[in-house]
Amino acid sequence: MLTTANLLGFLALALVIIIVPGPSVVFTIGRALVLGPGPAVLSVAGNVIGVGVQIVAVALGAGAIVVASPPLFFAIKVLGAAFLIYLGISAFKHRADPLEISSESGRVDTKKILSQSFVVGITNAKTLVFFLAAFPQFVDEGSNPITQMLLMGLIFSVIGFFSDSVYAVAAGTARHWFADSGKRLAVLRGAGGVALSLLGAYMLFEALKPLFG
C-alpha cells in the first residue's frame, strides 16, 4: 500500500491539478450551459469513467505503450479534440431547439450523455501524460505498484468527480434563470457550445503544433 508520505504528496498534487480550472472544468461548464445541471453531472461521471480507463491502462503498463507510439498518441489527441469541436458545433447549431440529448420518450438520454463524455475522458491526452508522470513518483517499491497506482487513480477520480460536479451544478443552476426566456436560454446554450468548440480547437492546436515546429 501507499506510504502516508506518498499518499499525502499525491493528494496535494491531485488537489492542485483538479481544483485549478482546466480543460475538464471548461468542458463541464460548457455542458452545464447547454444541458443543465443534471445532465452536466452525468457528463462529469462519463468523463471520470473515461479517465478511469486511462488509469487502469497506466497501472497495467498499456499507457506507456500508447505514449511511446507517436502515431497512436497523436491520433488519440486529435480524436478527442475533434469530438469536442463536434459537440460544441452541434450544441451551437441546435441552441434554440428542445434538449437534443433526449430519448424518444422525451427524457434525458443518460446513455448518450455518458457515452459522449466517456469519449472525451478516455481521449484526454493531458490526464494520460499526468498519470504516467505522477504515479511512478509516489509508488513505494516495497509494495505492489499496480495496486498503489489504482488507489491513486481512485483518489484522483473521486476528487475530480466532486470538484467538477460543483462547477456543473453552479453553472447549470445559473442556466435556470435564463430558462424563463427562450431567447436568453438560446444565447446561453450557444455560449456553451462555443466554449466546447474553443476547448477542442485549443486541444487540436496543441496536438498539431509539433508538426509545424
Q: What is the pLDDT of residues 53-96, one digit of tens each?
A: 999 999 999 878 887 888 888 888 888 888 889 888 887 887 77
Q: Which residues have C-beta within 8 Å of that of residue 85, sequence separation ≥ 6?
A: 196, 197, 200, 201, 204
Residue 191 belongs to some domain of the structure: yes
Q: Would you state the cell numbers that stand for residue 186, as one nine-digit string?
A: 438560446
User: What backbone torsions phi and psi does residue 69 show, to the nearest 5 degrees?
Assistant: -110, 95
The three-class DSSP label of residue 137 is helix
Q: What's the average model confidence in pLDDT over 19-30? A: 78
Q: How far apart are CA 135 and CA 112, in angstroms?
A: 32
pLDDT value of residue 213: 63
Q: How far apart are CA 151 and CA 135, in angstroms?
A: 10
Residue 16 belongs to some domain of the structure: no
State yes or no: pLDDT of 191 exceeds 90: no
pLDDT value of residue 103: 47
Could you tell me the maximum CA-CA distance found in the chain, to the nearest angstrom? 61
pLDDT value of residue 118: 95
Q: Would you state the cell numbers that stand for residue 175, as one nine-digit string?
A: 442556466
Residue 13 belongs to some domain of the structure: no
Residue 177 belongs to some domain of the structure: yes
Q: How far apart are CA 88 and CA 15, in angstroms?
A: 28
Residue 10 belongs to some domain of the structure: no
Q: What's the average model confidence in pLDDT over 8-14? A: 89
Q: Looking at the DSSP assignment, which residues form a beta bridge with residue 202? A: none
> Is-contact 152 11, C-beta < 8 A?
no
% of residues, the chain, pLDDT over 70: 88
Cα–Cα distances (Å) from 189 to 88, 100, 145, 147, 171, in that order, read 10, 11, 44, 42, 11
pLDDT value of residue 43: 93
Residue-wise pLDDT for 32-50, tens only, equals 888 888 889 999 999 999 9
Q: Which stretch, 5-14, 171-180, 181-190, has highest mean pLDDT? A: 5-14
Q: Could you list the residue range(s) of the whole structural domain that residue 111 is in?
A: 24-212
Q: How many domains does the chain have?
A: 1
pTM as predicted? 0.78
Residue 137 belongs to some domain of the structure: yes
Residue 7 belongs to some domain of the structure: no
Q: How far apart are CA 132 and CA 151, in angstroms?
A: 14
Residue 19 belongs to some domain of the structure: no
The chain-wide mean pLDDT, for the chain, equals 83
Residue-wise pLDDT for 114-148, tens only, equals 998 999 999 988 888 889 888 888 888 778 889 99
